[in-house]
Structure 1
């Protein structure tokens, strides 16, 4: 067998062209297909390590294993794909066996291990079926309202996929950091429920506003797949808080700011409302203002008990950009000292829910 990268136009799906070899029995549609595409985009190394299994046929190559991936590669605009070329003299009985074994998921899932040792949010983003749905009675027809809702979700997801692409947004600065849309900011008052991305996966579908004041590893994949956040159904978001420290080089920091502002602009284009993230090291304050239009009035930051002076500076930045003495600003966590500072400056303080929950558990459990 030979490994080679082959022009994608010469790789064709198995549709029963070979005598004695039925067409591939597997299908992939709608959300499953979109998850496969997102998985390929976020982990191209997997593609390099896993060839499509092909058989030479009339100057082309028929796929024996990897039909679904071939569809995804074509959709994503690939021009060539890594293939393992089977010998032309291979018996059709062997090809039939390979086709079925490639589609046969041997073994079973250890659901306890998946639940306790893996992040269900990440598993879902990677295309893994987290929950086992009960088998549906084929004689039962879904209510019309459910059918319409499903079609609407498919159209919405298709719109998100169309919006993604390779895009350069308009910018108000020399570094081409994208400008946020003025009409894409939340109105005064925090829309609840409010939670950190990836911090409570069980509540995922019920969250109205997400923030990213959590460990970076929980959301680093968003740059490759910003649609995953919108798929949750949230309507308002704080920009991703990509960590920037005083020791971070300026060049790298600019890249981080570009990425978070590009993601925020993309979310706005898809209809979400965005709070500007002000939680960066002091050395990046001026760079973090790139792309924020004058008069924009929706901000968020993280509160720290031992960094009250930083919070005062960030509140002042919000005032200068918004032109208001009392800007629309959220401060997440920090304890009583930060709460008092927020009251004095008339900005909204939001308790760090997960930290409180841990404290309650340590004290002997929650009431209720």
Structure 2
């Protein structure tokens, strides 16, 4: 039997393919359409009250089967609870697949003459209803010029959407310093998605990079504080949190500010659909401060390995165990050589070799 109840939004996860055999939700919404959806929810809350999100119990929370786009809108609007219709546990995946696709199936046809006669087009457009439909056309391969124009429009649309999401906002926090919490439902679940690349290592932004890390000189990524959408527009699936240079001589007040910035930007990226590995690579002085904003149970960590600081790595692995509650945490170690690699192997941690591009001077 299904049941209806209000559920904490932190326990409702978008369908990103977590359930084996259940594909990701095929619906997308962005840009102007997303803005109109949010506007509609704000102006007509009664509609939300009468329309539950269809969810399935999973891992202590709930996976959305129908209502992914509304969930994103509720999160953007700062909702704490959402009305859910909860499916019974043990339902066959085949049934869930059928529900997922039927929820996105537009049965019936629209009487466009009635729409034109009974409704005002400006009003319909304001509500996000698509009035005009283009006639079907035979497909032809676009020219290079058309492809470039289409890509440019897509980048603009993405930037508009991310700018709208950016704004001035305060995220939920588990500490007295208001350092934002990372979202447990937007963390890499298992393994590193490659290719992995250092942010700013190339003269221009590459496409096709799945995961970016920031274990580079600070100057390479200073610009992301001003515009974090550049990382999003790269199309990456995941990021390792920006790694800031925090030394034992760094004042605590300044260090807390740096940790706040990296957690805020990481949370913002998560809100836009990018998975985040929590960075543990800080000086010993800041290890306890660096845990702020990483919720208990979070299980995606990264650090940089140093051949002369093996004890640091062992301490960071222990921190990952304490936070995740796992003997073998989901963790990446970047570089450090054979000694660091041996520690990773002994602890079943992912080791990634550090690749350096050697610049050759002319005439050498």
Separation in 1, partners of 2:221, 2:144: 35
Shift of 1:345: 0.7
Taking structure 1 as reference, are residues 340 and 177 closer, same or farther at Cα in structure 2, changes over 3 Å only?
same
Q: Which has the larger radius of gyration?
A: 1
Q: 1:252 aligns with which of 251, 254, 261?
A: 254
Shift of 1:153: 3.5
For residues 54-91 of structure 1, the C-alpha deviation after alignment (integer angstroms, 9 at most, x for no partner) is xxxxxxxxxxxxxxxxxxxxxxxxxxxxxxxxxxxxxx
> In structure 2, what is the equivalent of residue 288 of structure 1?
290
The reply on whether 1:358 has 2:335 as its aligned counterpart is: no
Q: 2:311 aligns with which of 288, 309, 323?
A: 309
> In structure 2, what is the equivalent of residue 266 of structure 1?
268
Separation in 2, partners of 1:301, 1:348: 11
Q: TM-score, normalised by structure 2?
A: 0.57
Taking structure 1 as reference, are residues 247 and 289 closer, same or farther at Cα in structure 2, changes over 3 Å only?
same
Could you say what secondary structure the match of 2:207 adopts? helix
Shift of 1:264: 0.2
> In structure 2, what is the equivalent of residue 186 of structure 1?
188
> In structure 2, what is the equivalent of residue 300 of structure 1?
302
Taking structure 1 as reference, are residues 147 and 216 closer, same or farther at Cα in structure 2, changes over 3 Å only?
closer
Could you say what secondary structure the match of 1:237 adopts? strand
For residues 95-135 of structure 1, the C-alpha deviation after alignment (integer angstroms, 9 at most, x for no partner) is xxxxxxxxxxxxxxxxxxxxxxxxxxxxxxxxxxxxxxxxx
Question: Contact 2:205–2:234 (CA<8 Å) still a contact in 1?
Answer: no
Question: Contact 2:307–2:339 (CA<8 Å) still a contact in 1?
Answer: yes
Shift of 1:232: 1.2
Separation in 1, partners of 2:189, 2:264: 21
Unmatched tracts of structure 1, length 5 or more: 1-29, 31-139
Separation in 2, partners of 1:141, 1:310: 54
Separation in 1, partners of 2:143, 2:206: 28
For residues 292-341 of structure 1, the C-alpha deviation after alignment (integer angstroms, 9 at most, x for no partner) is 11111100000000000000000000011111111110000000000001
Unmatched tracts of structure 2, length 5 or more: 1-30, 32-141
Shift of 1:142: 6.7
Separation in 1, partners of 2:278, 2:227: 20
C-alpha root-mean-square deviation of aligned residues, in Å? 2.4
Could you say what secondary structure the match of 1:204 adopts? coil
Separation in 1, partners of 2:219, 2:311: 28
Taking structure 1 as reference, are residues 231 and 316 closer, same or farther at Cα in structure 2, changes over 3 Å only?
same
Question: Contact 2:158–2:233 (CA<8 Å) still a contact in 1?
Answer: no
> In structure 2, what is the equivalent of residue 198 of structure 1?
200
Separation in 1, partners of 2:195, 2:205: 9
Residues matched between the structures, number: 222
> In structure 1, what is the equivalent of residue 86 of structure 2?
none
> In structure 2, what is the equivalent of residue 159 of structure 1?
161
Q: TM-score, normalised by structure 1?
A: 0.57
The reply on whether 1:242 has 2:244 as its aligned counterpart is: yes
Could you say what secondary structure the match of 1:306 adopts? coil
Separation in 2, partners of 1:177, 1:304: 28
> In structure 2, what is the equivalent of residue 213 of structure 1?
215
Taking structure 1 as reference, are residues 209 and 160 closer, same or farther at Cα in structure 2, changes over 3 Å only?
same
Shift of 1:343: 0.2
Shift of 1:154: 3.0
Separation in 2, partners of 1:186, 1:272: 9
Shift of 1:150: 5.0
For residues 205-249 of structure 1, the C-alpha deviation after alignment (integer angstroms, 9 at most, x for no partner) is 221100000000001121111111111111100110011000001
